[in-house]
Homo-oligomer: A and B are copies of this chain.
Amino acid sequence: MAAGPFVGRRAQLRDDLERRILAAAEETFAMNGFGGSSVAVIAAAAGISKQNLLYYYPNKIDLYRTVLDDVLEDWLGCMIDFAATSSRPEEAISRYIEAKLEFSRRRPQGSRVFALEIIGGARNYGNELKSKIVPALRADIATLERLLGSRDDDRINAEHLFFIIWASTQSYADFSAQMELILDRKPLAAQDFEAARSTLTRLVLNSLGLPSPMTGARVETRSAPEGD
């Protein structure tokens, strides 16, 4: 239902309210899980009555799935760049990590709702997981494999390298409560995400024998394998 140029005022108001409800639901589900969130609390957070919420979303599970859909759409939009990129490997990987971390920074609650669903076995979102998320991840893994080149012998396992990238970037949203305690800073600041980006990028590129794209080819601990 994309908004055309002639959206009426009513439709606009309705759209605004739906967004407010979804935002409230995303936050509540992230903090309390599906079972721990009541429709009444979500409605209160959205500034409307429980009955009114149920007018827009006929039941709790539909609301929950809509939240997941909304987050998924956002996430997929951020992630398509990787498979389509024709940049140099080090730049493609670097940008991918950056985009994934940026998503964690920009939408941590959405990331958490997803994490909760996966941890619980994806029983409410299994079809979408199989039909959309897994293919996207597989495409990313295939891209990564292509970027790694054809040295089959002692090559880094692309699937597990991808799992590491994915787990690491995601954790800056999902486990931020723990990181905040360790870094003694709440919430996490821009410098923390920058340090995360820098550390993870360096780790991955270094393990692949690729130069660091930002600081040029200079890698302090070693010399580059070939002239660039």
Binding site for B on A (CB under 8 A): 30-37, 112, 115-116, 118-122, 129-130, 133-134, 137-138, 141, 151, 153-154, 156-157, 159-161, 163-164, 166-168, 170-172, 174-175, 177-179, 181-183, 195-196, 198-200, 202-204, 206-209, 220-222, 225
Closest Cβ of chain B: how far from A8's Cβ, in Å? Answer: 39
Residues of B within 8 Å of A118, CB to CB, are: 174-175, 177-178
| Cα of A156 to Cα of B222 in the assembled complex, Å | 13
Closest Cβ of chain B: how far from A152's Cβ, in Å? Answer: 11
Residues of B within 8 Å of A202, CB to CB, are: 156, 207
| Cα of A179 to Cα of B122 in the assembled complex, Å | 12
Nearest B-chain residue to A141, judged by Cβ: B182
Is the pair B209, A222 in contact by a Cβ cutoff of 8 Å?
A: yes
Main secondary structure of the interface of A (DSSP, over half): helix
| Cα of A146 to Cα of B36 in the assembled complex, Å | 42
Residues of B within 8 Å of A154, CB to CB, are: 220-221
Residues of B within 8 Å of A151, CB to CB, are: 220
| Cα of A141 to Cα of B37 in the assembled complex, Å | 35
Residues of B within 8 Å of A204, CB to CB, are: 203
Nearest B-chain residue to A138, judged by Cβ: B182
Q: Which of B116, B141, B172, B220 contacts A119 (CB 8 A)?
A: B116
Q: Which of B181, B196, B220, B222 contacts A130 (CB 8 A)?
A: B181
| Cα of A37 to Cα of B34 in the assembled complex, Å | 11
Nearest B-chain residue to A169, judged by Cβ: B167
